[in-house]
Structure 1
Amino acid sequence: METSLVFFSQLNMCEPKEKAFFKLIHGLGKEETSKEAKIRAKEKRNRLSLLVQKLEFHEEPPSSSRSGNLAKETRVSPEEAVIWGESFDKLLSHKDGLETFTRFLKTEFSEENIEFWIACEDFKKSEDPQQIILKAKAIYEKFIQNDAPQEVNLDFHTKEVITKSITHPTLHSFDAAQSRVYQLMEQDSYTRFLKSDIYLDLIEGRPQRPTNLRRRSRSFTCAEFQDVKSDVAIWL
């Protein structure tokens, strides 16, 4: 009959077997306790990190940033702000109105809608064939393709038409998508904007109050306006 031997590297063969075995088990227990402590500490750090991220996600922008926004808002008179409430067209055709509406969309995390609309306005003013191709590709990759960094909410058919034509784009390649985004903003975001503190404070001449950020589903669409300032840097 063969005898199996088990060797423990931690055992000192000069010590009594009972004492050596006790040291081995005691050492393993300490090592296990140390591992558990590290795991618990890591879990605590992860929970703390998540808590900090949530607090940062909901906290107000730095005071310096808020004061910068307020400086812009003070240029708008209540009379000008009232005009924005007459129609969505008049809001977007006014430089300060466009900026104010963009700030409002940022509080709802849906600024990709207005940025897409602005990009389309700039794109339609392109004249050089090479620029048309480059800008069309940039718009497609940023706003249209699946999992784009600022993907806008378009129906499957509209996206499919754009995808098929993007290799040979024209100045009208994004017209349908822009129109849909415009309509959705007009019917959804614009209605809430007129009831928001951002807008009501302007028409009543009050200082801007802090605005809580809240997540909303994406929506958007567009039409043509000639008075919007072209600025490729906004979306490239």
Structure 2
Amino acid sequence: MCKGLATLPATCLKSAKDIKHKISFLLQKPEPQAADQKQMKEKNAAAAAVKRVPTATEVKKWKESFSHVMNSDTGRRVFSSFLRSEFSEENMDFWLACEEYKKTGSSKLETRAKRIYRQYVEADAPHEVNLDGATREETRQGVENACPNCFDEAQRKIYVLMEKDSYRRFLVSKLIQDLSQNKEMKNCDCVENRQTLTGGA
């Protein structure tokens, strides 16, 4: 078998080595693949939530205040869909990651804190959120001594950013207008159906 390999041209051997190197590299990195699968599941869940038409009461509440959006699972998913259309979904992803982080057991705090920091906070992170230098530095120091509230200030800043910036555009977006119109049409359909059933005019 070795004799057979020796007779192959050097370019073939180099290609084989390159392929072997790439495969071993991919096999050594299961975490990003798992993260990608998790992100895909979250995106699919968000898409499913948007397909499930929210109630008229939900949409009305979302228009009243940003806190109503953030306190509703469906509201957060619909808002995430809007952020995705603006290429700023990392803000919601970071906010949700911080919420999950607060529930983390003490034995996993350090690992998760570093992962969140590397993914969202540090300069040139893959999904870097818009934080000022002082907050970024404060968060970096907090991560070194990981505790449940080391992301609190950064999370608060991103919440305010979404509320003051993205939420205002969300209120006048086609997405929220379509949801409002869908509810109005459904209400009309219900009235018509009721009138047909009762023989009303």
Cα offset for 1:120?
0.5
| 2:109 equivalent to 1:132 | yes
1:82 aligned to 2:46? no
Letter paired with 2:136: K
Q: Normalization by structure 1: what TM-score?
A: 0.56
State yes or no: 1:165 paired with 2:165.
no
Per-residue deviation at 1:94? Answer: 0.9
In 2, distance between residues paired with 1:165 and 1:154?
15
| Structure 1 Cα separation of the partners of residues 51 and 62 of structure 2 | 14
Query: How far apart are the structure 1 equivalents of 2:159 and 2:49?
Result: 28
Distance 1:197 1:158 in 2: 34
User: Which of the residues 84, 91, 94 maps onto 1:106?
Assistant: 84
Higher relative contact order (CA 8 A, sep 6+): 1
Give the deviation of 1:75 after TM superposition.
3.2
Show CA shifts across 1:142-195 (max 9, x none): 001111000011111111111123221111101110010000100110010010
Letter of the aligned partner of 1:116 in structure 2? Answer: F
Give, as a single letter, the amino acid of the residue that structure 1 aligns with 2:179. Answer: L
The CA distance in 2 between the partners of 1:174 and 1:143, in whole Å, is 11
TM-score of the pair, normalised by structure 2? 0.65
The letter of the residue matching 1:113 is N
- Aligned residue number for residue 75 of structure 2: 97
Q: What amino acid is aligned across from residue 86 of structure 2 in structure 1?
A: E
RMSD across aligned C-alpha pairs, in angstroms? 2.3
C-alpha contact (below 8 Å) 1:77/1:205 kept by paired residues:
no
Contact kept, 8 Å, 1:123 with 1:135, in 2: the verdict is: yes
Provide the rounded CA distance (Å) in 2 between the counterparts of 1:159 and 1:111: 19
Change in CA separation of 1:156 and 1:202 when aligned onto 2, cut-off 3 Å: same
1:106 aligned counterpart, secondary structure? helix
Whether the 8 Å CA contact 1:113–1:152 is kept in 2: the answer is yes
CA distance in 1, matches of 2:171, 2:87: 17
Alignment gaps of 5+ in structure 1:
1-64, 207-236
- Say if 2:53 and 2:179, in contact at 8 Å, map to a contact too: no
The answer for the alignment partner of 2:194 in structure 1 is: none
Letter in 1 for 2:84: K
- When the two structures are aligned, how many residues end up with a matched partner? 141
Q: 1:135 to 1:163 in 2, by over 3 A?
A: same
Equivalent pair of 2:98/2:155 in contact (CA under 8 Å): yes
